[in-house]
């Protein structure tokens, strides 16, 4: 039976995250200290003390979640965990997956996600973009609702997270129209999300162009572990392909449902969420009920994962 590690993206952050882990594992605070020296502020203090409004700013959230995932990845191997057959990350989490696969080094990834957050924040003026979660509606119905609501504006399905759970993004007015269109088609819930940027839609193309320039200055290696990427839902190891898909990811949908299913079809029976929270663990079980899923953000979770992995 094959295995995978999955790395969370924005939305998994919370004030106090990984505090229990740090009490038991010195490597956690050490990793955050390494990140703080690059960022120029005390990232660990901000994650522990907040305020939440600052932690939830995408320019802070992205480095924080990357660092949390890398810290737990390091702890996994310190505890004699074995190397998974595949890695994948949800949106921002793909950068964590690339660090795990040794395609990117941690410091370069940290600088990239900080820049990524800045570019995303400035690409769309505050208040002009929006995201919303659509619950209880088939993917095709969500796509059709967005097409119906666009009226020349941008709105599209951007995160296919699990069956019956899709996130849409675009200009504020168009997203509001799409919310109503989804409700009229029978969505159980259609609600705006408290995020500052409309990720993974065409409004991010300019940010992607600037990010591509930065990516060209960074060393990308071929991945030592296949990375199932958001844009293709296929495992990739070639550094050129990995980098190209990372650029496209910024303005393209996250095919998370397809990614988990692809890993299952490749023989993955065990998935370990490596990062703050347990969002992806829950989604993975909804996508594939036969999948054994673990989270390693605390000692108990790590112990269970090590037992289930071996």
Q: Tell me the pLDDT tens digit for each residue of 37-84.
A: 999 999 999 999 999 999 988 889 999 999 999 999 999 999 999 999
Q: Measured between alpha carbons, how far is 19 from 7 in angstroms, rounded to an integer? A: 18
Taking residues 33-40, report their average pLDDT: 97
Provide the pairing of β-strand 129-135 with 86-89: unpaired
Beta carbons of 30 and 70 less than 8 angstroms apart: no
Q: Measured between alpha carbons, how far is 295 from 283 in angstroms, rounded to an integer? A: 12
Residue 147: which residues within 8 A CB-CB, separation 6 or more? none
Q: Tell me the pLDDT tens digit for each residue of 231-273.
A: 999 999 999 999 999 999 999 999 999 999 999 999 999 999 9
Q: Which of 3, 96, 196, 200 is catalytic?
A: 200
- pLDDT number for residue 57: 86
Q: Binning pLDDT at 50, 70 and 90, where does residue 7 land?
A: very high
Beta carbons of 185 and 145 less than 8 angstroms apart: yes
Q: Measured between alpha carbons, how far is 165 from 163 in angstroms, rounded to an integer? A: 6
Taking residues 131-141, report their average pLDDT: 97
pLDDT at 310 over 70: no
Taking residues 168-179, report their average pLDDT: 97
Provide the pairing of β-strand 129-135 with 165-171: antiparallel
Q: Binning pLDDT at 50, 70 and 90, where does residue 127 land?
A: confident
Residue linked to tokens 């069956």: 163
Q: Measured between alpha carbons, how far is 101 from 109 in angstroms, rounded to an integer? A: 12
Q: Tell me the two tokens of residue 66.
A: 């990357």
Q: Binning pLDDT at 50, 70 and 90, where does residue 125 land?
A: confident
Beta carbons of 310 and 1 less than 8 angstroms apart: no
Whether 45 sits among the annotated catalytic residues: the reply is no
pLDDT at 308 over 90: no
Q: Residues of the chain with pLDDT > 90: what percent? A: 93
Q: Tell me the pLDDT tens digit for each residue of 287-303.
A: 999 999 999 999 999 99
pLDDT at 109 over 90: yes
What order do you get walking across the sheet with 227-228 strand by strand? 235-236, 227-228, 86-89, 2-7, 268-273, 292-295
- pLDDT number for residue 58: 86
pLDDT at 112 over 90: yes
Q: What is the DSSP string of 111-143?
A: HHHHHHHHHHHHHS-TTSEEEEEEESS-HHHHH
- pLDDT number for residue 194: 78
Whether 91 sits among the annotated catalytic residues: the reply is yes
Beta carbons of 82 and 71 less than 8 angstroms apart: no
pLDDT at 1 over 90: no
Q: Binning pLDDT at 50, 70 and 90, where does residue 126 land?
A: confident
Q: Which of 4, 91, 171, 295 is catalytic?
A: 91
pLDDT at 28 over 80: yes
Beta carbons of 123 and 206 less than 8 angstroms apart: yes
């Amino acid at each position: 039976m094959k295995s995978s590690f999955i790395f969370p993206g924005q939305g998994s952050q919370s004030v106090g995250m990984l505090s229990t882990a740090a009490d038991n594992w010195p490597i956690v605070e050490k990793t955050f200290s390494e990140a703080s020296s690059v960022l120029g502020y005390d990232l660990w203090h901000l994650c522990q003390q907040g305020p939440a409004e600052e932690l939830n700013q995408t320019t802070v959230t992205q480095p924080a979640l990357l660092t949390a995932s890398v810290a737990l990845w390091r702890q996994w191997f310190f505890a004699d965990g074995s190397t998974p057959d595949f890695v994948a990350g949800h949106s921002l989490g793909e950068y964590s997956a690339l660090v795990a696969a040794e395609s990117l080094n941690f410091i370069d990834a940290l600088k990239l996600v900080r820049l990524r957050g800045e570019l995303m924040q400035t690409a769309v003026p505050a208040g002009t973009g929006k995201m919303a979660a659509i619950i209880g509606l088939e993917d095709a119905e969500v796509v059709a609702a967005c097409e119906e609501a666009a009226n020349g504006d941008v709105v599209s399905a951007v995160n296919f997270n699990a069956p019956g759970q899709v996130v849409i993004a675009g200009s504020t007015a168009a997203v509001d129209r799409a919310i109503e269109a989804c409700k009229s088609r029978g969505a159980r819930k259609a609600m705006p999300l408290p995020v500052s940027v409309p990720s993974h839609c065409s409004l991010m193309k300019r940010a992607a162009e600037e990010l591509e320039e930065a990516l060209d200055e960074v060393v990308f290696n071929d991945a030592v572990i296949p990375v199932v990427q958001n844009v293709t839902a296929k495992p990739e190891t070639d550094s050129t392909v990995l980098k190209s898909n990372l650029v496209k990811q910024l303005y393209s949908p996250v095919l998370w449902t397809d990614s988990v299913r692809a890993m299952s079809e490749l023989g993955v029976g065990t998935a370990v969420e490596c990062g703050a929270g347990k969002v992806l663990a829950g989604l993975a079980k909804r996508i594939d009920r036969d999948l054994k899923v673990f989270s390693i953000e605390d000692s108990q979770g790590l112990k269970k994962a090590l037992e289930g992995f071996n």
